[in-house]
Structure 1
């Protein structure tokens, strides 16, 4: 590869002003958690799918590899370049338009660089709900959400990003454009290419636009915060909520006492409720299509039954939208409080809901025995079996040394426990480069061979995000 020839070809493709080769490129070269810092040959900022295709063809001709990037908020180091200085970062941030809203079909077509929060606002302005919601929604992009099959807080009702997508526009590793922006809910004409690209982390092609599902706005949305005595009680409460709220149950989050103590410590103004008296707290959301009175009656009946059953010891129901946002803000502040506390090891795992209590009990005890003083920050989306099972360094110790000396061992202990309970080592963050070497230990050989066959068939030159997912 002649780097100067490639840079010139990139400049011809998107214009000199949108090919960055010098200056401060930290925002593109460093991941959100500051776990990795690479060096790009160039950062390219195309304006449309045709320019993306031209960039891919230039890289194919000159031997450059491509790292697609949206908001660069990922947690698995999957969207920053390596240290060789030979990779092209393809930033989709300029491609942020809402192309169309089809009210009758309940769909919205949007470019991949659109910020998730802006997409939510566009849907709301049109009188609809776009339900994908996660802590990084003010900076993450819909293309990145689809590339990692993001989940968030409303999966229990609406599903992951995959379930919300009806069609894609994708640039292939050959520089062709697949125009698949259908709004069809039924299309049985062969392999489902849409689902192939969703969750592939940019290793098979570059998502440039998507057609997403919209939903009617609920007539009322209520939030409750409940103290529960154990993880078993939280699972019992989830079952009661499914039975009594049905499709109205849109969110069900669980938070451990230590996780909430960090929020209380670093953000005391948030006034975390009930955490001192209970090992676990649960945040529930009920969306109702009838009225607020109907929603409140059903919610209060659920909590009264749960109190009588003993799976809830105390609860508060938000009286207004401001209080509800405050409760959700507490939940969303856990990762920030953990960062304030210091360096930590993150695990984004999924398990059958029925196995979560046993997993937590077994793995908490295992880590306490193997790593004295370790602190466990357990929280996550219990409604869909996704836990953020994070490990904080012992208090007062050298956190840098803890990560250096213990991270691999702790990862192995946690991931082995996940495997014993029939779970997955990645629920919604993806594999990236952070977990790529670990994937062969926890994915079947048959599955990996199928994945490699697909990668080879679609990207024989290995242009697309090399070293991510499959190594």
Structure 2
């Protein structure tokens, strides 16, 4: 990710975790809730990509909300910094302590219970340490659907998903993580517990506090439980892999797909040929769904909760007719509709394995940006030109959730170029990409958040008024700056 080497560490609390405090932490969480060995701490102080490594005096793993509250109160009273952590799968360093961190990492992994499933009311109450895929599977066992879906779903935790307002591949239909939540329980910076676990779709009693904590990256409090929304389980599903003319064709196709599917478009994912080839090179077992001479592909999925009727028109029939029309219009060059679940899984595995493949490919730069859907083709064209003007041998592999305007504008370094050399170009490339996206009224962070990586970029692009409002909220809820300090927002 761009810019990490250029960041100046912010001022963060440096109160030490003394032997006496360690004893009190052990009394709260027990021996199995406390990790002190340096080797055992390493997975918690290193980010998923292996590019950022910090320090922590201890990793504390509470088993319930009462223990979280007691740990946080102890830290608050002693001015000890806390880095809250879920599955540690983030890409911006938001769950990784700074090298100057002298406090604790508070891991929610032991709080992994589904507390209640209400299939009639379409809601589920869970603890923050539940693995996302576990929640998807739990909903499915009750003939319900929890739509948050992303590549790390086998290891990311719902508390982290909510703290970063995760996006994923279903956003165009169901919204970001904050749109999937009815209520929260949060431990505040002083150890107080706010119980907002209300399964209400209508509640106009003052400020909607839960939205303060979703997307705040643990800088205002620690999400410990959530009431999640559920939907009917899909009964009629159709997945297709399309060779398309260009990104403009993808936008036009998506616009027409909403009506053609009776507004049942679940996902619409743009993939470049370079990106697809990279996955096929590095991820064993993946197969090219469609060998076609084009630079662009689209993964399109339609789904309906209505079961397919014998002899009736289902999603595959509608998709087939739609694709025939798009072929005639020249937007689609070739297409294949998944005939089996295995074929559909292969298509999705290609899309969801991009991050793993890019790690195997070598050093790269990636920009998680968003712009109005209709302007995506313009951004891609102008952005590629601007970056190639700086480094002509860089290898682009753009992709994105184009249904919600989110483009992962990604590049691999030139062949033979190491990370140190690529970092010499990083600042200039970051500036042209973010300047362009800002000039187009877009966002420099669509779904991955700010964390450490985009700390200075937020400062550069957000207005003084916006930054002042954010700092006011931070100081009001975390006056000692112990909650994930030095992430997302510079206070100075």
Once the two structures are superposed, the pairs formed by residues 384-403 of structure 1 within 5 Å of their partners are 384-395=404-415, 397-403=416-422
1:275 is displaced (CA, Å) by: 5.3
Aligned twin of 1:455: 474
Query: Are 1:174 and 2:174 an aligned pair?
Result: no
State the shift of 1:222 in Å.
0.9
How far did residue 389 of structure 1 move?
Answer: 0.7
Contact 1:261 1:275 survives alignment (8 Å): no
2:383 to 355, 360, 363: 363
Deviation at 1:269? Answer: 4.2
The Cα offsets for residues 221-278 of structure 1, whole Å up to 9 and x where unpaired, read as: 1101111111110111110112212431000000011111212333474222335411
**Alignment-derived partner of residue 438 in structure 1:** 457
Q: 1:436 to 1:302 in 2, by over 3 A?
A: same
| Aligned twin of 1:183 | 199
For the pair 1:96 / 2:112, whether they are aligned, the reply is: yes
TM-score by length of 2: 0.93
Q: How many residues of Structure 1 are paired with residues of Structure 2 in the alignment?
A: 470
Deviation (angstroms), 1:190 = 0.6
For 2:409, what is the secondary structure of its paired residue?
A: strand
**Distance between the aligned counterparts of 1:38 and 1:2, measured in 2?**
15
For the Cα contact (< 8 Å) 2:371–2:437, is it kept in 1?
Answer: yes
Q: Give yes or no for contact 1:260–1:275 (8 Å, CA) kept in 2.
A: no
In 2, distance between residues paired with 1:276 and 1:341? 23
Given that 1:6 and 1:64 are in contact with CA atoms closer than 8 Å, whether structure 2 keeps it comes out as no
1:406-459 deviation per Cα after TM superposition (whole angstroms, max 9, x unaligned):
112211111111111111111111100111111011112211111111001111
What is the root-mean-square deviation in Å for CA atoms of aligned residues? Answer: 1.3
Residue of structure 1 in register with 2:426 after alignment: 407
Pairs within 5 Å for 1:7-156: 7-24=22-39, 25-156=41-172
Contact 1:201–1:432 (8 Å) recurs in 2: yes
Q: Is the 8 A contact 2:49 2:359 kept in 1?
A: no
Q: Provide Cα deviations, 1:139-182, integer angstroms capped at 9, x if missing partner.
A: 00000000000011111111111100000000001111111111
Distance 1:282 1:16 in 2: 50
Partner of 2:4: none
What CA deviation, in whole Å up to 9, does each residue of 1:365-421 have, x standing for no partner? Answer: 1111111201111011011111111111012x2222333211122111111111111
Structure 1, 95-104 or 441-450: larger mean CA deviation: 441-450
Say if 1:288 and 1:294, in contact at 8 Å, map to a contact too: no
What is the DSSP-based 3-state SS (H/G/I as helix, E as strand, rest coil) of the residue aligned with 2:263?
helix
Which residue of the partner structure matches residue 341 of structure 1? 361
Structure 2: how far apart are the matches of 1:178 and 1:403? 46
Distance in 2 (CA, whole Å) between partners of 1:148 and 1:231 is 28
Displacement after TM superposition at 1:80 (Å): 1.5
- Does the Cα contact within 8 Å between 1:171 and 1:205 map onto a contact in 2? yes
Length-normalised TM-score, structure 1: 0.97
Q: State whether residues 275 and 281 of structure 1, in contact with CA within 8 Å, keep that contact through their aligned partners in structure 2.
A: no
CA contact (8 A) 2:136 2:147 kept: yes
- Asked if the contact 2:452/2:488 (under 8 Å) is kept, the reply is yes
Residues 1:328 and 2:348 are matched in the alignment: yes
Alpha-carbon distance in structure 2 between the residues aligned to 1:352 and 1:79: 29
- 2:6 corresponds to which residue? none
CA contact (8 A) 2:16 2:103 kept: no
C-alpha contact 1:350 1:424 (8 A) present in aligned 2: yes
1:220 corresponds to? 236
Aligned partners of 2:123 and 2:199 also within 8 Å:
yes
Work out whether 1:422 is the aligned partner of 2:422.
no
How far apart are 1:20 and its partner, in Å? 1.4
Q: Deviations over 1:59-106 (max 9, x none)?
A: 011110100000000000011212235121000000000000112210
Structure 1 stretch displaced more, 180-189 or 282-291:
282-291
Higher relative contact order (CA 8 A, sep 6+): 2
Q: Contact 2:270/2:401 (CA < 8 Å) preserved in 1?
A: yes
1:309 lines up with 2:324 in the alignment: no
Show the 5 A alignment for 1:230-309. Answer: 230-267=246-283, 269-274=285-290, 276-292=292-308, 293-309=313-329
**Structure 1: distance between partners of 2:157 and 2:284:** 31
3-state secondary structure, aligned to 1:258: helix
Q: 1:306–1:447: structure 2 CA closer, same or farther, 3 Å change rule?
A: same
Take 2:461 and 2:204, find their aligned partners in 1: how far apart are those partners?
A: 32
**Which stretch shifts more, 437-446 or 156-165?**
437-446
Runs of 4+ in 1 over 4 A off after TM superposition: none
Relative to structure 1, the CA distance from residue 232 to residue 319 in structure 2 (aligned partners, 3 Å threshold; closer, same or farther) is same
Q: What are the superposed Cα offsets for residues 201-227 of structure 1, whole Å, 9 maximum, x if unpaired?
A: 000000001000011112211101111
Gaps of 5+ in 1: none
SS in 2 for 1:43: strand
Q: Is the 8 A contact 2:16 2:102 kept in 1?
A: no
Name the counterpart of 2:7: none
Q: Which piece of structure 1 moves more, 323-332 or 65-74?
A: 323-332
